[in-house]
Structure 1
Amino acid sequence: MQARLRRLEEGREPWALRLQALFACIDLLILAFFILGPYLRDTPSYLLIDYAIAAWIGIELSGRAVTSTSLGAFFKRIMTWIDLIILVTLLFPDALFNFAFLRAMRVWAVGNSPLVREGLRWAGWLVYRDVVRACINVVVFLFMVTGFVYTSFFYGRDAGEGFVDALYFTVATVTTTGFGDIVLPGTLGKLTSVVTMIIGISLFVRLAQAIFRPYKVAFSCPTCGLRRHDADAVHCKACGELLNIPNEE
């Protein structure tokens, strides 16, 4: 069972990719629930969906623990701690709503799974892999900051108005537009704005690099360790070592 679960998580067989695609859709639904949370929080179905997602994440964590070589390796994974925090916020939504923004990290995990690579390969768009990952990082960051700003500064407002104001502030800050019509109060608000601008600009620069720089493949040179090479490279540009880069098409 351990081997089968590991193949499900990391495999590239058609059946494994189909299940990974299903799990990715569930992660997107979890993100949709996070976005629609402000509109659903006063409805009877909110807690039902909340606890159903908690049960699903608990099952995923159990499966991931089974596939790990040891408990130490299991707890060294970033997504383990993220999912544990998300699980606790789902189990205690009223007390820990401030950490709900971490649920957007589930989409970041999708971007680093074999599903994206194989999907792009199937569509013939493998050269855009870095662009897709950079876009996912930007989207995840926007939703994480929006969630943090909403739960920390606008949670008491009307659901629609508060979340839209948080999203508007995040986009205006990340793009350094700075209209100034919405300003976060206090020291925490200023620090949030500073961190958002610094990280946001860095992610946009990374996205621009991924779009405009020449496509390179990830292949470690056996001599000097250089990891990125031209797709048709025969020799390493750093040390001249003969390369044998596998065809990604």
Structure 2
Amino acid sequence: MEKLHRSVRLLYQGRSRRAQRFRYGLIVFDTLTILYFIITAAMSPSLLLTVVNTVLGGLILLDFSARLWVAENRRKMLMQVYTIADAVVIVSLLLAPFFADDLAFLRILRGLRLIHSYHLIRDLRRESRFFRLHEDAVYAAVNLFVFIFVTTSFVFVLAFDDRAGIAAYVDALYYTVATLTTTGFGDITLPTTGGKLLSVFIMVVGVALFVQLARAIFQPSKVHYKCPECGLTRHDPDAIHCKHCGTSLKIETEGSDGN
């Protein structure tokens, strides 16, 4: 058992070529499951979807269990938002076969898999210099993406689930984006009190996320590196001294190609 534990830990945390390929495979799997849940959010329940969802639930549970098994601080891992989201998604997927009508709230819960994208970014930060250099913009884009599709799921269930289907889900997405951007064409509205409050929430939070994304794109990119003296964690990519205290920094770079 100890040998197996060491092998699994090296796959998830090691630096070997095999471990890197394994983690990239996990990133591809996680990305595909997120896209799958977005695409199937509006589809009517069927035997095929139930089988696929159950299989995915088992695979996500296996990955979840392996990460928990090799985690250095299991309590900290269990408190992280993407871990909680994954646990909720696993439960919703494994419980779905026991609900003949595949209740609407289960489809919303699967949308929480989007929160796992924060975990993907953490892995990509370790693997990719591009993500380290553009981390702020990537996080802002992910925040907006997660907000749009999780909110769309709520709008879909609240106002469009009585005519479930791709067209209804697109209407829910259209309404979410129109409200979020304050375009307000008015061709689709939520007249109930709950719908109006949801619209206010979408506009207020959405504008803030748009501003965050614009600022991250147009401001100079920063890299995360903790200054050993003062603890400042954000620096210019080519910084050799900390702007706060002047301490020499040793930020990893790929150097210049001489052009």
TM-score by length of 1: 0.85
Deviating runs (4+, > 6 A) in structure 1? Answer: none
- Structure 1 counterpart of 2:36: 33
Matches within 5 A, 1:52-201: 52-69=55-72, 71-93=74-96, 94-95=102-103, 96-97=105-106, 98-113=108-123, 115=124, 118-119=127-128, 121=129, 127-201=133-207
Residue 189 of structure 1, CA deviation: 1.7
Q: How far apart, in 2, do the equivalents of 1:42 and 1:125 lie?
A: 37
- The alignment partner of 2:163 has SS state of coil
Q: How far apart, in 2, do the equivalents of 1:36 and 1:20 lie?
A: 24
Q: How far apart, in 2, do the equivalents of 1:83 and 1:205 lie?
A: 29
1:19 aligns with 2:22: yes
Contact 2:43–2:164 (CA under 8 A) maintained in structure 1 = no
Q: Deviations over 1:175-195 (max 9, x none)?
A: 221222222242322232222
Aligned residues between the structures: 245
- Structure 1 counterpart of 2:99: none
- Structure 1 counterpart of 2:5: 2
Identity between Structure 1 and Structure 2 (%): 38
Residue 152 of structure 1, CA deviation: 2.7
Q: Which runs of 5+ in 2 are unaligned?
A: 97-101
Q: 2:239 aligns with which of 230, 233, 239?
A: 233
Cα pair distance change 1:15/1:199, threshold 3 Å:
farther
Q: How far apart, in 1, do the equivalents of 2:234 and 2:166 lie?
A: 45
Letter of the 1:106 counterpart: H
Contact 2:132–2:224 (CA under 8 A) maintained in structure 1 = no
Cα pair distance change 1:26/1:48, threshold 3 Å:
same
Residue 56 of structure 1, CA deviation: 0.9
Cα pair distance change 1:209/1:2, threshold 3 Å:
farther
Residue 125 of structure 1, CA deviation: 7.4
1:246 aligns with 2:252: yes
- The alignment partner of 1:236 has SS state of coil
Cα pair distance change 1:73/1:39, threshold 3 Å:
closer
- The alignment partner of 2:162 has SS state of coil
Q: Which runs of 5+ in 1 are unaligned?
A: none
Residue 48 of structure 1, CA deviation: 0.6
Q: How far apart, in 1, do the equivalents of 2:74 and 2:88 lie?
A: 17
Q: 1:211 aligns with which of 213, 217, 233?
A: 217
Q: Give the superposed CA RMSD.
A: 2.4
Q: How far apart, in 2, do the equivalents of 1:85 and 1:49 lie?
A: 17
Q: How far apart, in 2, do the equivalents of 1:106 and 1:233 lie?
A: 32
Q: How far apart, in 1, do the equivalents of 2:27 and 2:250 lie?
A: 33
